[in-house]
Amino acid sequence: MTTIFGIPLQAFLGQLLIGLINGSFYALLSLGLAVIFGLLRVINFAHGAQYMLGAFVALLLLQYLGVNYWLALLIAPLVVGLFGALIERTMLSRLYDLDPLYGLLFTFGLALTIEGTFRYLYGAAGQPYSVPPSLAGGTNLGFMFLPNYRGWVVVVSLVACLGTWLLIEKTKLGSYLRAATENTVLVQAFGINVPLLLTLTYGLGAALAAFAGVLAAPIYQVSPLMGTNLIIVVFAVVVVGGMGSILGAIVTGYMLGIAEGLTKVFYPEASNIVIFVIMAIVLLLRPAGLFGKDA
Amino acid sequence: MADMAETTETGGRTEAHSAMASSIRLGFLLVGLAALAVAPAFLYPVFLMKLLCFALFACAFNLLIGYTGLLSFGHAAFFGGAAYFTAHAVKEWHWTPELGVLFGVFGAAVLGLVIGFFAIRRQGIYFAMITLALSQMFYFFCLQAEFTKGEDGIQGVPRGHLFGLVDLSVSTNMYYFTLAVFVIGLLIIWRFVNSPFGMILKSIRENEQRAVSLGYSVQYYKLGAFVMSAALAGLAGGVKALVFQFATLTDVTWQMSGEVILMTLLGGIGTLIGPVFGAGLVVTLQNYLATSDFPVTIVTGVVFMACVLLFRRGVVGEFYASRLGRRLGFEHRR
């Protein structure tokens, strides 16, 4: 049997794939956090809860209305995005003039409320969501067996990340966004509706989280707590990458996912904490983060 | 960060007013202490001890946010960590309770030194995220380490004899021990806040650049405050392990870090007595909800949101800032 560093190649590639999948979610979520933070100066603690909401909306759509995965992939982000926009309009927007920490505390409370509600209604146990039939099964790549759905997740999350990047860097709406990040008052003076832009941004961030949630539903179980445990890791990812650049958030997400996967091969006990350890090292060597501009 | 915990002198405050405020404070303090001294006759002692532990925990947390302006999202690591250390020392090494608690304080301080060392490299929101991430790392450590006994936690911790003399398994004795620790803890905080060290911390909170230009090594002061806050959180955690006679993973979770933030926010960030109020409210609420099947998390979350949106100064802070509070001569925050 082929081995690499004394580990069977199969196991090595298997963990690499798991790392890539986790990395996809880290990238999608830290991207959303970076987009929201860039304009709103709010760290969205509820990002994990919105990810969970996405998965739950997909599950409930299937259970009560028989809506399939593909439609859910469209509807769930829309629903959660609207919910996010509503929260932003009615509550979060009142906190912009204050210290950014209030935004963090508010969204923390929001996350607790959403999670508590879902735990109350659906219990803490996870519920399965089956893989769509067209993506069931797997492909033999010769050197390893690739479940089709996991391949799909890696591809589609890459596309979503790049799409968001293009939206922000290459479109007119994106240029408004970036301009508003630089100088809100000036942009407003040019006649651009900045409050609307802020609402849209928060909605977009929430929708991205929900999109990741729907993607995650068939891989992990759908449970009320699936988001918050993940979001803490994503915070570490954000600290490592720095929130200065969108592309930086994406690259760091994938990198750390893969690092975590590889740790599982070589030293399984540390796989839970490896991202935090990397964060500590980065803080020592480059406090602003790998792609960060601010100190 | 400044507006989170600013204490501004009111323009028209007179000496007489301030004297009135401090005599009200003193009177309140004495009444409060007297009430706590006789409380076990009326209320369930374990509930009171839990309240005192959390009140001290919240005060320790407030030391950091209220007087240094640093929001730690990882204080559960110190609270829960100390509970583990104390429980282990008392149960496995058969140390006396006071030494066990001191060991917990020491452990929490060391942990604070390590986490603080990394966290103070960034400010504001990043500081919060780093402390959260590192405390989550400590949680995973506790989950896997041998001495914490994993999901079960350390059970059946003996309360032992204080100084080898006073039997703490007697509920009343344990209560007065807890009360004594609480009072000592508050005195330490009060002394610390009003020391030259505390004054420098306040100056860092108000204007960090200026403190630097005055020649203070801001990082050392921040780290000092962080370790102090961690050690006092450890004091609360260590005593809690003796009160409940167990130490479990619950106390090192991020939910616990959130809870202590809520207590402080609800009571009033940057006020000496606010966190005690906040802790009292939250613990009472939890106790009340424990008997119903309605989940505490939802209530906690809603109170959190309401606090941030409606009364950021907290109960005590809003009182100080109210017309009555100002007339009585309390300093109010912007």
- A chain contacts of residue B137, beta-carbon cutoff 8 Å: 273, 276-277
- B chain contacts of residue A239, beta-carbon cutoff 8 Å: 122, 126, 129-130, 133
Q: Is the pLDDT assigned to residue B10 strictly greater than 50? A: no
Give the tokens for residue A153. 């997740």
Residue B142 belongs to some domain of the structure: yes
* Contact (CB<8Å) A99/B2: yes
CATH number at residue A228: 1.10.3470
* Contact (CB<8Å) A114/B301: yes
Q: Which of these ranges, A258-262, B2-6, B21-25, B266-270, has the smallest mean pLDDT?
A: B2-6
Average pLDDT over residues A228-246: 84
Give the model's pLDDT for residue A135: 84
Give the model's pLDDT for residue A101: 87
Give the model's pLDDT for residue B316: 86
Of the candidates B99, B94, B98, the residue with the CA atom closest to the CA atom of residue B157: B94
* Contact (CB<8Å) B1/A99: yes
**Sign of CA pseudo-dihedral B236, B194, B276, B299:** negative
* Contact (CB<8Å) B297/A119: yes
Instruction: Fill in the amino acid letter for B91.
Output: K
Give the model's pLDDT for residue B28: 81
Mutate to test the interface with B, among A43, A115, A274, A283 (most CBs of B within 10 A): A283
Residue B293 belongs to some domain of the structure: no
Residue A294 belongs to some domain of the structure: no
If one counts the domains in chain A, the total is 1
Residue A290 belongs to some domain of the structure: no
Q: Give, in degrees to the nearest 5, the angle at Cα B72 between A180 and B75.
A: 150
Average pLDDT over residues B40-66: 90
Residue B226 belongs to some domain of the structure: yes
Look up the domain containing A164 and give its range: 7-98+111-127+138-285
pTM of the predicted model over 0.95: no
Residue A295 belongs to some domain of the structure: no
Q: Is the pLDDT assigned to residue A55 strictly greater than 70? A: yes
Give me the residue from B143, B144, B308 closest to A95, CB to CB: B308
Sequence-distant (≥ 6) Cβ neighbours of residue B297 within 8 angstroms: A112, A113, A115, A116, A119, B255
Query: What percentage of chain B's residues is helix, strand, coil (to nearest 5)?
Result: 75, 0, 25
- B chain contacts of residue A100, beta-carbon cutoff 8 Å: 124-125
Name which residue leads in pLDDT, A289 or B190.
B190
Q: Is the pLDDT assigned to residue B329 strictly greater than 80? A: no
Q: Is the pLDDT assigned to residue A120 strictly greater than 50? A: yes
Look up the domain containing B171 and give its range: 21-253
Mutate to test the interface with A, among B113, B129, B263 (most CBs of A within 10 A): B129
Give the model's pLDDT for residue A264: 84
CA distance A228 to chain B (A): 10
CA distance B104 to chain A (A): 24
- A chain contacts of residue B298, beta-carbon cutoff 8 Å: 112-113, 116-117, 120
CA distance B97 to B167: 10
Give the model's pLDDT for residue B312: 86
Q: Do residues B134 and B74 touch, judged by C-beta distance below 8 A?
A: yes
Give the model's pLDDT for residue B6: 43
Residue B300 belongs to some domain of the structure: no
Q: Is the pLDDT assigned to residue A224 strictly greater than 70? A: yes
Q: How far apart are the first and last CA of chain B?
A: 13
Residue A157 belongs to some domain of the structure: yes
* Contact (CB<8Å) A112/B295: no
Q: Is the pLDDT assigned to residue B8 strictly greater than 60? A: no
- B chain contacts of residue A236, beta-carbon cutoff 8 Å: 129, 133
CA-only gyration radius of chain A, Å: 19
* Range ranked top by mean pLDDT from A100-114, B103-117, B124-138: B103-117
* Contact (CB<8Å) B118/A277: no
Is A267 in the B-facing interface, judged by CB distances under 8 Å? no
Local confidence band at B9 (pLDDT 50, 70, 90 cut-offs): very low
Is B126 in the A-facing interface, judged by CB distances under 8 Å? yes
Give the tokens for residue B141. 């450590």
Average pLDDT over residues B66-70: 87
Residue A14 belongs to some domain of the structure: yes
Q: Is the pLDDT assigned to residue A17 strictly greater than 90? A: no
Name the average pLDDT for chain A: 88
Q: What count of other Cβ atoms lies within 10 Å of the Cβ of residue A14?
A: 17
Sequence-distant (≥ 6) Cβ neighbours of residue B310 within 8 angstroms: none
Q: Is the pLDDT assigned to residue A295 strictly greater than 80? A: no
Q: Is the pLDDT assigned to residue B154 strictly greater than 90? A: no
Average pLDDT over residues B316-332: 77
Local confidence band at A294 (pLDDT 50, 70, 90 cut-offs): low
* Contact (CB<8Å) A105/B136: no
Local confidence band at B78 (pLDDT 50, 70, 90 cut-offs): very high
Is A145 in the B-facing interface, judged by CB distances under 8 Å? no
Nearest CA in chain B to A118: B298
Give the model's pLDDT for residue B17: 62
Give the tokens for residue B331. 């300093």
Residue A205 belongs to some domain of the structure: yes
Name the average pLDDT for chain B: 86
CA distance A159 to A167: 12
CA distance B116 to B225: 9
Q: Is the pLDDT assigned to residue B228 strictly greater than 90? A: yes
* Range ranked top by mean pLDDT from A233-247, A251-265, B102-116, B248-262: B102-116
* Contact (CB<8Å) A120/B140: no
Name which residue leads in pLDDT, A44 or A246.
A44
Q: Is the pLDDT assigned to residue B66 strictly greater than 60? A: yes
Is B145 in the A-facing interface, judged by CB distances under 8 Å? no
Query: What percentage of chain A's residues is helix, strand, coil (to nearest 5)?
Result: 75, 5, 20
Give the model's pLDDT for residue B3: 47
CB burial readout A254-263, b (16+ within 10 A) else e: bbbbbbbbbb
Q: What percent of chain A has pLDDT over 70?
A: 97
Q: Is the pLDDT assigned to residue A22 strictly greater than 50? A: yes
- B chain contacts of residue A91, beta-carbon cutoff 8 Å: 305, 309
Q: Which of these ranges, A193-202, B173-182, B183-192, B290-299, has the smallest mean pLDDT?
A: B290-299
Give the model's pLDDT for residue A2: 66
Q: What percent of chain B has pLDDT over 90?
A: 42
ipTM: 0.85
- B chain contacts of residue A113, beta-carbon cutoff 8 Å: 297-298, 301-302, 304-305
Local confidence band at A133 (pLDDT 50, 70, 90 cut-offs): confident
Residue B291 belongs to some domain of the structure: no
Local confidence band at A287 (pLDDT 50, 70, 90 cut-offs): confident
Is A240 in the B-facing interface, judged by CB distances under 8 Å? no
Q: Is the pLDDT assigned to residue B323 strictly greater than 80? A: no
Give the tokens for residue B82. 């100390």
The residues facing A131 across adjacent strands are: none
Q: Which of these ranges, A24-33, A239-248, B13-22, has the smallest mean pLDDT?
A: B13-22
The residues facing A7 across adjacent strands are: A4
**Sign of CA pseudo-dihedral A74, A79, A84, A89:** positive
A to B CB pairs, distance under 8 Å: 123
Average pLDDT over residues A11-30: 88
Q: Do residues B173 and B36 touch, judged by C-beta distance below 8 A?
A: no
Instruction: Fill in the amino acid letter for B119.
Output: A
Is A108 in the B-facing interface, judged by CB distances under 8 Å? yes
Give me the residue from B118, B254, B261 closest to A232, CB to CB: B254
Q: Where are the alpha helices (DSSP H) in B92-207?
A: 97-119, 124-144, 171-193, 196-206
Residue A1 belongs to some domain of the structure: no
If one counts the domains in chain B, the total is 1
- A chain contacts of residue B299, beta-carbon cutoff 8 Å: 116
* Contact (CB<8Å) B136/A277: no
